[in-house]
Amino acid sequence: MESTEPTRSWSAGLGDGTRTVRAGLPEPVKYEPTLPGPVFAAHFHLPGDPTGPYTYGRDENPTWTHLERALGELEAPGEQDVQTLVFASGMAAISAVLFSQLRAGDTVVMPDDGYQALPLVHEQLRAYGIEVRTAPTGGDAQLSVLEGARLLWIETPSNPGLDVCDIRRLARAAHEAGALVAVDNTLATPLGQRPLELGADFSVASDTKGTTGHGDILLGHVSCRDPRLAADVRRWRKIVGAIPGPMEAWLAHRSLATLQLRVDRQCASALALAEALGKRGEVTGLRYPGLPDDPSHPVAATQMRRFGPVVSFVLPDKAWAERFLDGLRLVDDATSFGGVRSTAERRGRWGGDAVPEGFIRFSVGAEDPDDLIADVLRALDRADGDDDRAAR
Ligand SMILES: *Cc1c(COP(=O)(O)O)cnc(C)c1O
């Protein structure tokens, strides 16, 4: 039996579904709602000395507190010393870690195949006198450039290439080299991967994606155990003011209740879709970390609990990829991922990612898998340049 230490919270040992529906709920109060509604307040009644949790709305808000507790429960189930801070977007959360930790003269190691906005971040860091070193995610290549770094930034699985690195191994090496470790966990969500348990100092995510999962809000968060690091991030949030509105925070908390249902459906359908795509002659470069023969699978299987909603693959050329996207009826041609409605896009349209023109990033939603796969196969048939086949 698991030992129950006094610091263990109510959710230690529960399943993910139970934990997600209850995470962050306050103690029951007679005649009060289960999840109290959003608190709209720029300031709070505050007679006397300004102490206590709620003084001014840029610093703290009770609706954030509930959501932060919920996200903390998912990031580190049963642990009570984890602090979580919510932000107005994923980029606000990412910037809060980088810019609160790095000073002129420091070195940071970043992926060269990560989120699209990272090159802009590199530029800004360099403008502040910070050395930015980059290496690919796959093959743990960041290990080779760790020497003297202050912070290692990991994104695994990487977006959009779906390469994976070994978080435990990189975190151990970074700590030996005296560096802090942050993991962008957006693609996996805390149900897919728990970076703090794997050795990271910060788990960071855009909750715009799968965590909230309805494609209708922007949000981000940072979780960490070290109270000094949490205080740095909190101070940064106060200075920059990149705070979520109470309505967004409340909607996010409401959305969390279905996280396990959504993610389980998405991951099962993503694997089925990847298997169906693997049988198609026109599809190359198929990637899904959950596919047993994917190059990412061996490492992913040691650190991921679910493999995420994103599948990527390459069609022969740009026109072919556009015909495919155009032919889909149940899948929106849109960016972003992790939502209940499937989306797909030709990633090369943005520039910036090193991907072929026919590269498709496909985010699997919560549709019935048979409907979704039939729609994809029909759109592939129609996209085939061969007229005979398209006419069928
Ligand atoms: C979308 C995304 C971000 C940025 O999040 P926003 O909420 O759009 O600011 C950061 N990292 C990854 C991996 C993402 O997919």
Domain boundaries, the chain: 8-256, 260-391
CA distance 99 to 102: 6
Write the CB contacts of 181 (distance below 8 Å, at least 6 apart in sequence). 151, 152, 154, 170, 171, 174, 175, 199, 200, 201, 202
**pTM tops 0.85, yes or no:** yes
Ligand 1 centre from 385 Cα, in Å?
35
Q: What's the CA gap between 77 and 182, in Å, rounded? A: 19
CATH topology of domain 8-256: Aspartate Aminotransferase; domain 2 (3.40.640)
Kindly state the greatest CA–CA separation across the chain. 81
Phi, psi of 184 (to 5 degrees): -80, 110
CA nearest ligand 1 atom 8, residue: 90
Task: Indicate whether residue 186 lines ligand 1 (CB < 6 A).
Answer: yes
- The region that residue 3 occupies, defined by phi over 0 for left and psi between -120 and 50 for alpha, beta otherwise, is beta
158 lines ligand 1 (CB under 6 A): no
Tens-level pLDDT at each residue, the chain (392 residues): 344 444 556 777 899 999 999 999 999 999 999 999 999 999 999 999 988 899 999 999 999 999 999 999 999 999 989 999 999 999 999 999 999 999 999 999 999 999 999 999 999 999 999 999 999 999 999 999 999 999 999 999 998 899 999 999 999 999 999 999 999 999 999 999 999 999 999 999 999 999 999 999 999 999 999 999 999 999 999 999 999 999 999 999 999 999 999 999 999 999 999 999 999 999 999 999 999 999 999 999 999 999 999 999 999 999 999 999 999 999 999 999 999 999 999 999 998 778 999 999 999 999 999 999 999 999 999 999 755 554 44
User: Which CATH architecture does the domain made up of 260-391 adopt?
Assistant: Alpha-Beta Complex (3.90)
Name the helix (H) or strand (E) containing 139.
Answer: none
90 CB within 6 A, ligand 1: yes
Ramachandran bin of 389, using left for φ above 0, alpha for ψ from -120 to 50, beta for the remaining angles: alpha
Ligand 1 atom nearest residue 92's Cα: 9
Q: Which protein residue has the closest C-alpha to ligand 1 atom 1? A: 206
Contact (CB, 8 A) for 323 and 334:
no
Please determine whether the domains at 8-256 and 260-391 fall in the same fold group of CATH: no
Task: Collect all residues with Cβ–Cβ distance below 8 Å to 200 and sequence separation of at least 6.
Answer: 154, 167, 171, 181, 182, 183
**Substitution site in 155, 209, 221, 336 for ligand 1 pocket (most atoms within 8 Å of beta carbon):** 209
Give the single-character DSSP code of 28.
P
Question: Could you tell me if 145 and 109 are in contact, meaning their C-beta atoms sit under 8 angstroms apart?
Answer: yes
Residue among 97, 159, 221 whose CB has most ligand 1 atoms within 8 A, to mutate: 159
218 lines ligand 1 (CB under 6 A): yes
